[in-house]
């Protein structure tokens, strides 16, 4: 079994003649929070969906803890999609119980604690909640699992700035030492303080993969500053 939590080997994904990802090779270690960063259309969501098994590669392979996407890998992955997916008729507690029934690694007590800290009304129906509060519920569900790989697609995009720090702190406090967190986001300045490493994607290819410490030491720049330089229009 591979030591990498997530590994891509000459991975490509085409939609017709268009390459969403092309010949991606990367190996992500355990115990790191990693930013997946790039402009719109760079392939970030495609890579995440491939790791979840929601898409299949055109060429190459992608492995989660040594497994190709399937039954074994899906038990190890906790995925936060960019869009809200929970049924409107469910209450927040219904959602927690659904996850508890579905995932053996779901920590119900941890979920309740996070809901309280985020001031989310547990008995409210999803249809009555704001977009930002729905996103908080989804994050609570995802981070209450004891997963090996957390895939977070825009986890703070719809919440107010005051809630962002708590959510980022929640991510920091609730992933295990042998887990990997991969965060796709456009809010780089907000999220970079919790990142150990970052990946820059452009036109479906990796243009940079480095540690945040080495970037600051070697170039004296933040990730946000470096991003603006690399992807300047």
Range of the domain at 161: 6-230
Model confidence, pTM: 0.92
Q: Any idea what the CATH number is for the domain that residue 53 is in?
A: 3.40.50.300
1 belongs to a structural domain: no
Residue 173 has pLDDT above 60, yes or no: yes
Q: In the prediction, which pLDDT does 1 show?
A: 41
In a domain, 103, yes or no: yes
Q: Render pLDDT for 30-82 as a digit per residue (tens, 0 to 9).
A: 999 999 999 989 999 999 999 999 999 999 999 999 999 999 999 999 999 98
DSSP string for residues in the chain: --S-SEEEEEEEEEETTEEEEEEEEEEEPTTEEEEEE-STTSSHHHHHHHHHTSS--SEEEEEETTBPTTHHHHTTEEEE-SS--S-TTSBHHHHHHHHHHH-TTB-HHHHHHHHHHTT--TTSBGGGS-HHHHHHHHHHHHHTB--SEEEEESTTTTS-HHHHHHHHHHHHHHS-TT-EEEEE-S-HHHHGGG-SEEEEEETTEEEEEEEHHHHHHHH---HHHHHHHHT--
Q: Does residue 56 form part of some domain?
A: yes
Domain count, the chain: 1
């Amino acid at each position: 079994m591979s030591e990498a939590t997530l590994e891509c080997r000459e991975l490509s994904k085409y939609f017709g003649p268009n390459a969403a990802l092309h010949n991606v090779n990367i190996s992500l270690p355990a115990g790191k929070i990693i930013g997946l960063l790039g402009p719109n259309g760079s392939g970030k969501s495609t890579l995440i969906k491939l790791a979840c098994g929601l898409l299949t590669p055109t060429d190459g392979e992608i492995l989660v803890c040594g497994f190709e996407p399937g039954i074994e890998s899906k038990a190890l992955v906790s995925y936060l999609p960019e869009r809200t997916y929970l049924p409107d008729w469910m209450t927040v507690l219904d959602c927690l119980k659904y996850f508890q029934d579905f995932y053996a690694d779901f920590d119900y007590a941890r979920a309740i604690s996070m809901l309280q800290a985020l001031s989310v009304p547990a008995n409210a129906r999803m249809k009555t909640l704001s977009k930002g509060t729905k996103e908080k519920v989804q994050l609570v569900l995802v981070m209450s699992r004891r997963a090996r790989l957390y895939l977070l697609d825009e986890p703070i995009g719809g919440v107010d700035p005051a809630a962002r720090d708590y959510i980022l702190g929640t991510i920091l406090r609730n992933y295990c030492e042998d887990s990997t967190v991969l965060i796709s986001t456009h809010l780089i300045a907000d999220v970079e303080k919790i990142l150990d490493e970052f990946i820059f994607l452009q036109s479906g290819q990796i243009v940079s993969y480095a540690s945040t410490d080495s970037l600051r030491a070697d170039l004296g720049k933040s990730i946000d500053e470096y991003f603006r330089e690399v992807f300047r229009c």
